[in-house]
Structure 1
Amino acid sequence: MIQHLTEALVPLLSLILLGAILGRKTDFFDGKALAGLVTTVGIPALLLHSVLSMDMDIFGMGALVGITVAWLVVMAMVTALLLTLAGLPVRSYLPALVHPNTGNMGIPVCFALFGPQSLGLAVVISSVIQVSHFTLGIGCLSGRFSIRAMLKNGPVLALIAGAFLLATNIRPPGPVMITLDMLGSITVPIMLMQLGSSIANLRLSGARDMLRPLVFSLYRPLGGLALAWVLLLIWPLSAMEAQVFLIQCAMPVAVMSYVLSVRYQGPSQEIALTIPMSLLVSLGIAVIFALFA
C-alpha cells in the first residue's frame, strides 16, 4: 500500500517541485511559447491518441461528455446560489469555484493512480472543462464569450476528430498512431512543471483575508467530489470511468481561472491564494484513492 501510494504521487510532486524551482531560477516557462506548444500540439495529440486507443465507442464517449456537462451545469447552479447567499459577486468567483484543474493536474493524477488506460477518459473530461473555460469562464468575467475562439481550440478539434473516427470505425495507420503517441508524451511532464512554475510565481502579498480563500479551497475539491458522487448514483458509469470522473471533479482551482481573473480584473489575489491551498486538499483526496480505491 505504501509502495502504491509512493509510486502514484512522488513523480507528480517531484515534477511540480522541479517546475517550481525552474520557474524561480530560469526563464524556461516565461512567455507563451511553451504553453502554446502544449495546448496546440501536446494535448490534442494526447487526446486523439488516447481516444483512439481506449476501448470506448462513440456512445461511451458521449456518456462521459454528457455527465461532465451535467456536472458543470449543476455545479454552476449550486455555486451561484451559495455565492448569492454569502453576498459575494457571482460573476467574479463562479468560474474559479466551478472549474477544476483537470489538465495539468487531473490528467497526471489519473495516469498515476489508474494507469495508461485512464488517459483517454481523463482527457475527454478535461476537454469539456476547457470548453467551459471559453464559455462560462470568459462569459462570467468579461460579460461575453467567443464561439470563434472555442472552435479554434486544439483539444476541442481533437475531440471532434476522435469522435468522428470512432463513429466511422476508421483506424489511423500505425505510423500515425506512433507519431501521436510521441507528441502526446511531452504533455504530462510539461503540464506538471508548468503548474509548479505558476504556483511558485504567484504574488500573494495582496491577500489579506485568509478565511475566504480557505473556504474556497475546501469547497472546490470537496464540493465537486460530492456532486460527482451524487450524479453517479443516477448516471452509472463503468468502474474506471467513475473513478476518473470523481478524481477529475475533485481537482483544485485551475490555473486558467487565475489567468482569466488577471486578464479581466477579477479577484486574482484571492484566486491565486486558493490554488495552492486547494491543491493540498486535492492531493489528500488522491492519497485516499491511492490507498483504498
Structure 2
Amino acid sequence: MQAVISAALPVFGLIFLGYLCARRAWLGDAALDALNRFVVYLALPAVLFQSMAQITWAELVNPGFLGAFGGGMAATFALSFLLDRTVRGRLTDASIEGMGAAYPNAGFMGLPLCLVAFGPASVPAVVVAMLLTATVLFAISIGIIETDLQATPNWRRTAGFVARALIRNPLVVSPFAGMAFAAFGITLPAPVLHFTTLLGGAASPCALVAIGMFLAQSSGAAKEPRIARAVGRLVGLKLIFQPAITAFLAFRVFDLPTIWAHSALLLSALPIGTGPFMLAQLYGREAAVASRAILISTVLSVVTVSLLIGWFSVR
C-alpha cells in the first residue's frame, strides 16, 4: 500500500494546490482556461510526439497485450458511451463519458507503480498502455466529438469539416508526426529532445492543478443527483469493470506471460487520468463529472490497487 500512496499523494497534492489557487484567487479568473489550453495545445502534444518518435516496433508489436489492455479499454469505453447515450443522447457528451471510464492514469501513476511491483521489465508494457490511452483513445474520442459538432445534412461536407478539425488538433497531429520520425529511423536531436522533455513534463502537473481549480469553482454541482450518479458509474466502470475484462482477456483469452498479464491488469485498474477533464474543458462541455470522478477514483484506488498488488505477490 505504501507504493500506491506514494504514487497517489502527488496527484492529491497538485489537485489541492489548484483548489487553493482558485479559492485564494492567486492566479486570476482566466487561469483555469489558460492552464487547460497550455496542456492541450503545447505540453501534451510534446509528450505524444516524443513518445511516438522514440518507440520501436518491438515494443509496439505485442498482439496479446494490445488485445488484453486495448480490449478492456475498448469494452469499457463502449459500455460507458452507450449508457450515457441513453441518458443524454449527445454524441459529444457520450464520447467524453466513454473516455472518462476507460482512461487510466498510466503515465503519472502507472510507471512508478509498475516499476515497484514488477521492475524495469514492465516498462515496455507501460509505454504501450500510455500510447493506447493518450493516442488511440484520444483520437477516437475527438473524432466522435468533431463528427457530432460538425454534422451537416451532407455527409461529404461533414467528413470534410471533421477532417479539417482533426488536422488542426495537436493531440491528433503530434503522435503521427512522431510516428513519421520513428518510421524513417530519425533520431531526435538533443536540443529537440530536451525541449519536448521540458515542455511535456508540465502536462500532468498543470492538468491536475486545473482540476483542483475547477473543483473549487463548482462545489455546488456535486450535490446534483444526476452528477452523483454519473460519477459513481464512471468510477465503478474504471475500477471494477475495466480490470475485470482485462483480466479475462489477459489470463483466459491471450494467456499472456506473467509480467505482461500482471502489467496489463495493474494498468487497467488505475484511477481515471486527466484526459476526459481536458476534453470537456476544451469543447466547453460539463466537466463536473470528469473532475470528481478523477478525484474519487484516485482516492478509492489506494485500496483497490493495493489489494491487486497484494494478490500479485501471493499468486
TM range (shorter): 0.7 to 0.9
- Aligned match of 2:20: 21
Q: Which runs of 5+ in 1 are unaligned?
A: none
Name the CA distance, whole Å, in 1 between partners of 2:84 and 2:59. Answer: 36
Contact 2:270 2:301 in 1 (8 A): yes
- Aligned AA (1:280): V
- Aligned match of 1:40: 41
Q: TM-score, normalising length from structure 1?
A: 0.73
How far did residue 242 of structure 1 move?
6.4
How far did residue 95 of structure 1 move?
2.8
Name the CA distance, whole Å, in 2 between partners of 1:46 and 1:248. Answer: 21
Say yes or no: does 1:255 pair with 2:277. yes
Q: TM-score, normalising length from structure 2?
A: 0.69
Q: Which runs of 5+ in 2 are unaligned?
A: 152-157
**Bigger shift: residues 222-231 or 14-23:** 222-231
How far did residue 109 of structure 1 move?
1.4
- Equivalent positions of 1:88-237 (< 5 A) are 88-89=87-88, 91=90, 94-100=94-100, 105-114=105-114, 117=123, 120-124=127-131, 125-137=133-145, 139=147, 146-205=162-221, 207-208=224-225, 210-211=228-229, 213-232=231-250, 233-235=252-254
Contact 2:104 2:272 in 1 (8 A): no
How far did residue 221 of structure 1 move?
3.2
Name the CA distance, whole Å, in 2 between partners of 1:83 and 1:57. Answer: 36
Contact 2:214 2:291 in 1 (8 A): no
SS at match of 2:225: coil
What is the identity percentage for the equivalent residue pairs of Structure 1 and Structure 2?
18
Structure 1 pair 126–17 and aligned structure 2 pair: CA distance change class (3 A): same
Name the CA distance, whole Å, in 2 between partners of 1:6 and 1:277. Answer: 14
- Aligned AA (1:99): M
- Aligned AA (1:168): F
Name the CA distance, whole Å, in 1 between partners of 2:294 and 2:162. Answer: 26
Structure 1 pair 66–162 and aligned structure 2 pair: CA distance change class (3 A): farther
- Aligned match of 1:281: 300
How far did residue 17 of structure 1 move?
1.7
Name the CA distance, whole Å, in 1 between partners of 2:71 and 2:22. Answer: 37
Deviations 1:119-167 (A, max 9, x none): 6435412122221221234556886883322222223222112222222
Q: How many residues align?
A: 286
Structure 1 pair 16–162 and aligned structure 2 pair: CA distance change class (3 A): same
Structure 1 pair 287–173 and aligned structure 2 pair: CA distance change class (3 A): same
- Aligned match of 2:76: 75
Name the CA distance, whole Å, in 1 between partners of 2:292 and 2:10. Answer: 24
Name the CA distance, whole Å, in 2 between partners of 1:97 and 1:140. Answer: 15
Structure 1 pair 82–100 and aligned structure 2 pair: CA distance change class (3 A): closer
Name the CA distance, whole Å, in 2 between partners of 1:111 and 1:190. Answer: 19
- Aligned AA (2:138): Q
How far did residue 285 of structure 1 move?
3.6
Name the CA distance, whole Å, in 1 between partners of 2:35 and 2:82. Answer: 38
Name the CA distance, whole Å, in 2 between partners of 1:272 and 1:141. Answer: 23
Name the CA distance, whole Å, in 2 between partners of 1:195 and 1:20. Answer: 8
Structure 1 pair 69–114 and aligned structure 2 pair: CA distance change class (3 A): closer
Contact 2:43 2:199 in 1 (8 A): yes
- Aligned match of 2:50: 49
Q: Please report the RMSD computed on the Cα atoms of aligned residues, expressed in angstroms.
A: 4.0
